[in-house]
Amino acid sequence: MTASVSLGRQIDAVVIGASAGGVEALSVLLSAVPSGTKAAFFIVLHLPRDRPSMLAEIFARKCALPVREAEDKESVAPGTVYFAPSNYHLLVDQGPQLALSADELVHHSRPSIDVLFESAADVYGNRLLGVILTGANEDGAAGLAAVQEGGGITVVQQPETARSPQMILSALKLRPADKVLPLDGIAALFETLAPQGVPI
Amino acid sequence: MDAEVDSAPSATGKEFHIEMALLIDAIYRLYHYDFRGYAPASLRRRLKAAMVRFGCQSLSQLQDAVIHDPAMFPALLDFLTVQVSEMFRDPAYFRALRQRVVPLLRTYPSLKVWVAGCSAGEEAFSLAILLREEGLLANTLIYATDINPRSLQKAATGVYEVERIAGFTANHQRSGARSSLSDYYTAAYGRAVFDKSLKDHIVFSDHSLATDSVFAEVQLVSCRNVLIYFNRTLQDRALGLFGDALCHNGFLSIGSKESIRFSAHADQFTDFDRAEKIFQKRAAL
């Protein structure tokens, strides 16, 4: 299928939530993000809470943008990929600025996708793109709905192409997404985030 | 399937922020609790949970209730201050404390420790147990402070649900334990009651990092996963208090993902254990 990849508006931030199978899916997507992309990326990938996350190191090699683990009260730099650290919720605050929280687990998860998406929807409104990928729980459904209520664009991975479709199906059950795409369709969407006419 | 292009920004977000500022101001004026320097994103989430709990459709409704029904305020305060902790959270931190900080703490004839934002007391009891194991508790006084009186009351009982003990025990073992956690509590009726011999060395008291000042000179300040709920201005105030409270070469511990680098007081401290976020106050220049 050829994805219609026009977003038709400026996107300042992309939030991505993934769980089981997420490392493989993110490898495809983050490799596709062109250098020169101005949007900031915030990512929650569920991992065991009792050890440090290595995600920033792993994906730094695969992505044209700088990839970092989010730090508390850090100002958001455009064109940067931020991963939530292990055992903390990641929130976006006014500024935009990053904030962490050690509040209770949400859907048995910390970091939780809902917590990230709801806070980002509040800050970015209709300049936000929310993406739910493969996963085997229900985290992210309420968050993606919040992105849509804030005027943002919502995308889910095509469930048949996901290693674990449950998270996507939960999101779709709560609220139809604006786009349902296989990974290469989402990758194509990300390629449009870089400003047109960037000198090569 | 294309997204409907709608340029209207989220109006509900803006209204919520206005209502939040009004509620926080009302709480400050009426009850003298100052949340004005709290990070808005977490506060917003907690207030949304409070709205559900109290059956309010809007924050203005919640404000109406809290202004006219003082009996409701303590319950709301629980939502605003809830801190989720566990004993020996981040065992590697306690191991670093044991291996690297304790040898220096031994050089003092007596110790004072400040656990700032102690919530239900898990961190204070963990430190008491660690210092007991290292033979230092007998000459130690731990000040455990919080703004929530109900948390302080709960902390002072030293009672935890027995279901939490397995997690506490696993953490304790990974912290380089020299004893068994079960040496320090008695389990009965689904609860574990920690020993009076630990509590005798802990003073639980009301103190606000937003509005109160320093009350003692201490050798160690532990304030882990509290600063993340503050904005940079309030973080700066808290770090100033810690700098004033610490003796020269005293130690400050913060949460594993917290930072002092945005603070004007950062140059008062040097990295002591970078990975475990333990800082040392510089000696006088």
Q: What is the pLDDT of residues A155-200, one digit of tens each?
A: 999 999 999 999 999 999 999 999 999 999 999 999 998 776 444 4
Interface of A with B in 7-66 (CB under 8 A): 7-9
DSSP A110: S
Q: Which of B81, B108, B131 is the last residue of a domain?
A: B81
Q: Identify the domain containing residue A89 by its residue range.
A: 13-191
Q: Given pLDDT bands bounded at 50, 70 and 90, which one contains residue A47?
A: confident
Q: Name the helix (H) or strand (E) containing B245.
A: helix B232-245
- For B92-112, the DSSP string reads HHHHHIIIIIHHHHTTSSSEE
Please answer yes or no on whether B82 and A104 come within 8 Å at the CB atom.
Answer: yes
Number of domains present in the structure of chain A: 1
CATH number of the domain at B254, please: 3.40.50.150
DSSP B284: P
Q: Are residues B72 and B139 in the same domain?
A: no
Please answer yes or no on whether A93 and B262 come within 8 Å at the CB atom.
Answer: no
Tell me if B1 is assigned to some domain.
no
Of A9, A71, A122, nearest to B259 by CB-CB distance is: A71
DSSP B184: G
pLDDT of residue A196: 61
Residue in this structure with the two tokens 């994103």, named with its chain if needed: B41
d(CA A17, CA A118): 12
pLDDT of residue A198: 46
Number of domains present in the structure of chain B: 2
d(CA B16, CA B1): 31
pLDDT of residue B3: 39
Tell me if B112 is assigned to some domain.
yes
Of A7, A103, A153, nearest to B42 by CB-CB distance is: A103
Q: Given pLDDT bands bounded at 50, 70 and 90, which one contains residue A5?
A: low
Q: Given pLDDT bands bounded at 50, 70 and 90, which one contains residue A6?
A: low
Tell me if B5 is assigned to some domain.
no
Instruction: Considering the candidates A12, A107, A112, A139, report the single residue annotated as catalytic.
Output: A139
Q: Read off the pLDDT of residues A110-155 as tens digits, 9 standing for 90 and up.
A: 999 999 999 999 999 999 999 999 999 999 999 999 999 999 999 9
* Interface test with chain A among B257, B261, B262, B276, by most A beta carbons within 10 Å: B257
Closest-CA residue in chain A for B16?
Answer: A122
A19 assigned to active site: yes
pLDDT of residue B124: 98
* Amino acid present at A144: L
* B90 to chain A, closest Cα gap in Å: 8
Cα-to-chain-centroid distance, residue B150: 14
CATH number of the domain at A105, please: 3.40.50.180
d(CA A167, CA A139): 7
Q: Read off the pLDDT of residues B14-61 as tens digits, 9 standing for 90 and up.
A: 889 999 999 999 999 999 999 999 999 999 999 999 999 999 999 999
Please answer yes or no on whether B42 and A88 come within 8 Å at the CB atom.
Answer: no
d(CA A188, CA B66): 50
Q: Are residues B120 and B251 in the same domain?
A: yes
Give the residues across from A90 on adjacent strands: A100
A46 assigned to active site: yes
Low-confidence residues in chain B, pLDDT < 50: 1-11
Of B3, B228, B259, nearest to A102 by CB-CB distance is: B228
Please answer yes or no on whether A179 and B46 come within 8 Å at the CB atom.
Answer: no
Tell me if A8 is assigned to some domain.
no
Tell me if B86 is assigned to some domain.
no
pLDDT of residue A53: 86
Chain B residues with CB under 8 Å of a chain A CB are: 1-10, 12-13, 16, 39-42, 44-46, 82-85, 225, 227-229, 231-232, 235, 255, 257-259, 262
Q: Are residues B212 and B259 in the same domain?
A: yes
Q: Are residues B239 and B215 in the same domain?
A: yes
Q: Are residues B29 and B150 in the same domain?
A: no
Tell me if B4 is assigned to some domain.
no
Q: Are residues B63 and B97 in the same domain?
A: no
Q: Are residues B32 and B155 in the same domain?
A: no
Q: Are residues B95 and B65 in the same domain?
A: no
Predicted TM-score (pTM) of this structure: 0.91
Q: Identify the domain containing residue B160 by its residue range.
A: 91-281
pLDDT of residue B6: 37
